[in-house]
Amino acid sequence: QVQLVESGGGLVQAGGSLRLSCAASGRTFSSYTMGWFRQAPGPEREFVSAISWSGGLTYYADSVKGRFTISRDNAKNTVYLQMNSLKPEDTAVYYCAASSAGSYYFGHNYHYWGQGTQVTVSS
């Protein structure tokens, strides 16, 4: 069992930066692929980024590539999402999630989810 708690969201002007954190409970954190997803008003949750259990592999949606950086600290059971050059279209609730199998891209492969943190980017 893994419990995830996101923090670091807020209101920022376009061009600004935020760093999201996701703290995990549970001794097996280091065995999970960790992902970030976001959901703007509407039905679909969008893949943002993912990182392998060791941190050696990272993946990004085209829309955030070059602006966002995912990282993890397994000693602290925490995954981060550094978001730079934020745009109004980045406005969404951001969720972190943990997956033990399957493609990192699909939300249904993630077994544990946090409650989300709101990111609002003003123009």
| Euclidean distance between CA atoms 123 and 70, whole angstroms | 24
**The predicted structure's pLDDT at residue 91:** 96
Q: Could you read off the pLDDT of 90-109 as tens digits, one per residue?
A: 999 999 999 988 888 898 89
**The predicted structure's pLDDT at residue 60:** 98
Q: Could you read off the pLDDT of 49-92 as tens digits, one per residue?
A: 999 999 999 999 999 999 999 999 999 999 999 999 999 999 99
Q: What beta strand segments (E) does 8-111 contain? A: 10-13, 18-25, 33-39, 46-51, 58-60, 68-73, 78-83, 92-99
Burial bucket for residue 71 (CB in 10 Å: 0-12, 13-18, 19+): middle
**The predicted structure's pLDDT at residue 5:** 97
**The predicted structure's pLDDT at residue 101:** 85
| Euclidean distance between CA atoms 52 and 40, whole angstroms | 25
| Euclidean distance between CA atoms 95 and 114, whole angstroms | 6
